[in-house]
Structure formats: structure tokens, C-alpha cells
Structure 1
Amino acid sequence: MRLSDMLRVENVRVAEKPDRWQDAIRLAIHPLLESGCVEARYAEAIIRATEQVGPYYVLTEEVALIHGRPEDGVIKEQLAVTVLRDPIRFSADGFDVRLLVALAARDSRSHIDAMKVLAGIFMDKRQIDGIVALEDAEAIYRAFIDADPASQS
């Protein structure tokens, strides 16, 4: 499944920094909930997992790939992207995060192509800096889609 199959422009948001990390998770998951891709319990399961094992989804400075287990309420595969105007920390000793990418995956295989594109973005600090500087959801969406070589064909 290509990135363009998993990310829709209406699932991209720019938001103010939430007060608590739990609210950041709910904010990131909200577009997936609105579009019927996950059940409400999905965000709560991620919050419980974080309380048990820590913020496993914070990948690098600026980036969190927020995801849970398929059986915790995934209905349909989809991505959502939220850029925070100000960073949040998911733990006292963790990175500042402004780019929240929420993933709803129904299995461990079908989204691999999209994840390869995301990995390329996440490993490129200049690309991340460019994305978090954008203030328009359409421009953020375009930055992700343009990073996918499959969308060029």
C-alpha cells in the first residue's frame, strides 16, 4: 500500500500544543477516529501502553509515529499527520516532538511500502525541519506525498 493510499489531505492538521501528552495522542488519532478508521478505544489503548512501557513511538527529535495494536480498534488502514506549533514531550527525558504521525494498521505487512517512505522522511532532518515549519495542511500533505517515488509515476 502506497503512502498516497494511506494518507488523505483531510487527515492532516496543524494544531496548538496540547497540555498533556495524553491529549497529544488523542489529537493525533482524532482524524482517524473521525474518518471511521479506528474506534475510540484505539487512542486509550496507546495511552495505556505508554503508561506501561513509555513512549515507544517517539522515534527521533521532532517525530513520533503514534500507533497501537490492530486488535485495539483498527478498522481500516490509514495515516494522519499533525504538526504542533510548539513541541511537546512524552517523557521528562525525551525529545521535543512537533510532528505526530498516527498509524492505523490492520496487520504487520500491508503498510510496509508506506512505512519505507516515512522512514526516509524521518531520517532526513532537513525534511523534518521543512515539514514542521509549514503552516498549511495542504502543504504538509504535499510534502509527504512528494516524498513517495511511487506518487511520481
Structure 2
Amino acid sequence: MADSQKFAFQDMLKVENIQILDSVQDWREGVRVSLDPLVKGGYAEQRYADNVVKDIESVGPYVVLTDDIALIHARPEEGAIKTQMGLLLLRKPVQFEGSDSCVTLLFALSAEDPNSHVDAIKVLATFCMDESKVARLKESETPEEIYHLLIAESEATDRAGESVLSASE
């Protein structure tokens, strides 16, 4: 793939990559479970999940973004095959060693290069800054409900960007 290709959010998230579980044993299991659909779908090698765990063990909980939210990822050369995202929603939060945050939303990212996923991550960041949207996501009952909430945010963000562009012309 050319470095110039960008992935829209809806291209990076499939409903089959979204999981809802009551709990995981610890953060290591959370990392592995969150990445499991990406491994099974051919978007990442198994070593990618192993490398994320090793990276967290060596440098600390770099994946924890805020209370409730982690972005599970590693460098492309650590086993990413194709760009894709997944999500694990936990009913019982998990704590990462070295972090005071308890995480319930583990967004999993496999990125085949350093740039193609940036626009999609911006959509995710916008969504995650809105506490009411995060609360609705955490209350979701099905992967389909989660998917539709996130895709609606993506479409709203796209429309807002188009409005800004047309106003500046």
C-alpha cells in the first residue's frame, strides 16, 4: 500500500472485531483478547499481541490514554499486517501496572505503516473526549450498537471537516 493512502474510520472498524466481556484476569489477558479478532482476521500476527505485552512490561502503560480508555498498539514492524481496529468493552475495569487508571474500553489497533491510520485516530480521539459519548459506549449491549455509535461519530466528524473546508474556499 502506498503511504499516501488514508483509512477512513469506517474502513478500519468491523463489527466482528468488537467484543463485550464481563472481565479479564489481568491487563495482559485484556491486551491479548482485544487483539484476538485482528490476529484471527489476518490483520496482525500473534507476535504483535506478544510484543504489545512485552512493550508495556518494559516501558510502562503507554497504551492507557485516560481513565476508561486504552489504545492497544505497537510499531508496524512488530507484527502488523494490515491496518484495522478492534474494541474490547469490559464490564469490570482492568488496571494496568504502573497506571492509576482503570480501563473498560480497549481499542486495538494494527497499523501497517506509521501514517495511514492517523485520520481514523483523530475521529476516535474526538469521540473519546466527549464523556457522554464514552458513557453511552460503555452502556452498549451489543457489538452492533457500539459499531453504530462509533460510525455515527465518524460520519459527523467527516461532515464537520467538509464544512470547515467549504467555508475556507
Asked whether the two chains share a fold, i.e. TM above 0.5, the reply is yes
Instruction: Report the Cα offset of residue 106 of structure 1.
Output: 1.2
TM-score by length of 1: 0.95
**RMSD over equivalenced CA pairs, Å:** 1.6
- What aligned pairs does 1:27-42 form with structure 2 within 5 A after superposition? 27-42=33-48
- What aligned pairs does 1:4-153 form with structure 2 within 5 A after superposition? 4-91=10-97, 93-149=99-155, 150=158
* Distance in structure 2 (CA, Å) of the matches to 1:70 and 1:145: 25
| 8 Å Cα contact 2:60/2:98 also seen in 1 | no
Residue 147 of structure 1 aligns to a residue whose secondary structure is helix
Instruction: Report the Cα offset of residue 107 of structure 1.
Output: 1.3
Aligned amino acid, residue 79 of structure 2: G
Extract unaligned runs of 5+ from structure 1: none
The structure number with the bigger radius of gyration is 2
Map Cα deviations across residues 88-137 of structure 1 (whole Å, 9 max, x no partner).
00125421110010000111211111011001011111111110111111
Q: Taking every aligned residue pair, what percent have the same amino acid on both sides?
A: 39
Residue 148 of structure 1 aligns to a residue whose secondary structure is helix
Map Cα deviations across residues 41-71 of structure 1 (whole Å, 9 max, x no partner).
0011000000111110100010000001101
* Distance in structure 2 (CA, Å) of the matches to 1:122 and 1:57: 14
Extract unaligned runs of 5+ from structure 2: 1-6, 163-169
Q: 1:151 to 1:72 in 2, by over 3 A?
A: farther
TM-score by length of 2: 0.86
| 8 Å Cα contact 1:145/1:151 also seen in 2 | no
Q: How many residues align?
A: 153
